[in-house]
Amino acid sequence: MLANKACPDILTEDNMMTEEMCTMVLAHGDNLNMTEGMCNMVVTHGDNLTEAPMRIVTEAPVRIVTVAHVSNLTEAPVSNLTEAPVSNLTEARISNLTQDTRPTLTEAHIGQCQSKPRLTKADMGQRHTKIISAWLNLIHFIST
């Protein structure tokens, strides 16, 4: 772990900074806007720090970040998001979306579709004969 490498034994022997305090500084470095390099400097030059300032640095800001801000984020905005807009979407809009707006085919429509004349083989034969005779007439006209 970072704390074991960065915290020298001298600090724990002098009682200027305990290993637990050092671990807190390293673990909560992001919340305190401290980089790993700054953390190492604090640990290395720990003789200049007493227990009181270290407690202020590690305990107070971390409590503010985790308790107050996080509870504000999870309680107020999330409950507003989940209760109001989602209920509006599920009840009103989804019922509109699920209702079928397509026209339904009635028996009259289906009857009209079935009553249309269909081409028989005889009709198809007459059609082919007309097309072939038209081509033959065109060829005869061009060749003369």
- The predicted-structure confidence for 38-83, as pLDDT tens digits, reads as follows 555 554 444 444 444 444 444 444 444 444 444 444 444 444 444 4
The whole-model pTM stands at 0.19
Is residue 110 in a domain? no
Residue 69 lies in a domain: yes
Is 92 among the domain residues? no
Nearest in space to 14 (alpha carbons), one of 49, 38, 39: 49
Question: Which string of b and e fits 28-59 if b means at least 16 CB within 10 Å?
Answer: bbeebebeeeebbebbeebeebeeeebeebbe
Q: Is residue 31 part of a domain?
A: yes
- Domain housing 41: 2-86
Identify whether 15 is part of a domain.
yes
Counted domains in the chain: 1
pLDDT single digits (tens) 89-142 = 555 555 555 555 666 666 666 666 665 566 677 777 777 788 888 888 888 888
14 assigned to some structural domain: yes
